[in-house]
């Protein structure tokens, strides 16, 4: 795999006038057009997270090579309707007091926003944007921390894809495909996935009592129950898995780079819901509105789709 990236200094000149809220038709799996699009001020967007308490979205921007410690990653806030909230990034690796290189998955626990950043997990105060803590996992061999999700007890689960990009942006696999569990600011390896599967998105499936995990380099949808030491393959999809969420009706929805799709997984079967979404990365989800945010990693764009 070879990726093309755009690196540049970031200025947010304006927010697109967008409107959300129009319901999609009855029984239609997805609407025919996104209900909102953000395409200004983004640079290699990787992940979107919905904050139901503050009624806004967070959007992580890698800004360059996904494994380069270049100090220029940033996190934006978007209003519920998908308009830019800030004239400057809410959290900006270019600021002297912030370390942020290539932010990817995010999770909220209380008033802390947790962010995966290559081989570190960083916490920021969600009101001020100030640093809470920086937890380094490099000594444990982390190479590509990717998605972050919080368990019911506040434990953070973080995938490590185990990959790296060389200067020509070719992918190598120097690390393990696995999940870390982080509690009381101590990280431990929770489970290892098949070699080179490149664990990416994870989401808690409450009905199953397990985490569902997709791999960037695997067609499998994996399940893992905390306390056990292996994963189970539940079924297959197109591969190139990145983000995964559990919809309000219990089905899993994941993004695939292999066929540029959003694909739903239920009863052991994968079904393509929508194509035409190139390089779709980590999904955000507002269950109340049935709204899915899809960052198009190589196109500096986020599209908001209604899924019912």
**Interaction site with Ca ion (CB under 5 A):** 63-64, 70, 72-73, 102, 146, 200, 242, 282
CB nearer to Ca ion: give 29 or 239: 239
Least Å distance between CB 244 and Ca ion? 9
CB nearer to Ca ion: give 145 or 291: 145
Least Å distance between CB 258 and Ca ion? 14
Least Å distance between CB 17 and Ca ion? 29
Structure tokens of 286?
């507002």
CB nearer to Ca ion: give 65 or 306: 65
CB nearer to Ca ion: give 71 or 235: 71
Least Å distance between CB 21 and Ca ion? 28
Least Å distance between CB 26 and Ca ion? 32
CB nearer to Ca ion: give 172 or 288: 172
Least Å distance between CB 93 and Ca ion? 7
CB nearer to Ca ion: give 33 or 285: 285
**Euclidean distance between CA atoms 201 and 46, whole angstroms:** 11
């Amino acid at each position: 795999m070879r990726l093309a990236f755009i690196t540049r200094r970031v200025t947010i000149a304006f927010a697109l006038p967008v409107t959300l809220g129009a319901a999609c038709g009855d029984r239609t799996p997805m609407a025919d057009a996104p209900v909102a699009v953000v395409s200004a001020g983004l640079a290699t967007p990787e992940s979107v997270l919905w904050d139901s308490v503050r009624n806004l979205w967070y959007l992580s921007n890698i800004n360059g090579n996904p494994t380069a410690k270049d100090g220029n990653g940033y996190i934006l806030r978007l209003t519920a309707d998908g308009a830019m909230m800030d004239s400057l990034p809410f959290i900006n690796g270019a600021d002297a007091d912030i370390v942020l290189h290539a932010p990817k998955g995010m999770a909220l626990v209380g008033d802390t926003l947790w962010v995966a950043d290559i081989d570190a997990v960083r916490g920021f105060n969600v009101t001020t944007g100030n640093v809470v803590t920086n937890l380094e996992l490099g000594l444990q061999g982390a190479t590509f921390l990717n998605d972050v999700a919080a368990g019911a007890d506040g434990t953070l689960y973080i995938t490590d894809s185990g990959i790296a990009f060389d200067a020509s942006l070719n992918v190598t696999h120097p690390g393990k495909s696995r999940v870390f569990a982080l509690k009381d600011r101590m990280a431990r390896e929770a489970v290892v996935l098949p070699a080179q599967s490149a664990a990416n998105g994870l989401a808690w499936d409450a009905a199953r009592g397990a985490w569902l995990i997709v791999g960037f380099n695997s067609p499998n949808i994996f399940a893992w129950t905390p306390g056990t030491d292996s994963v189970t393959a539940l079924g297959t999809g197109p591969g190139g898995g990145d983000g995964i969420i559990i919809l309000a009706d219990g089905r899993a929805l994941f993004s695939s780079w292999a066929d540029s799709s959003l694909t739903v997984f239920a009863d052991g079967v994968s079904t393509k819901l929508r194509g035409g979404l190139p390089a779709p990365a980590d999904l955000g989800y507002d269950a109340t509105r049935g709204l899915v945010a899809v960052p198009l990693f190589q196109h500096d764009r986020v599209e908001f789709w209604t899924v019912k």
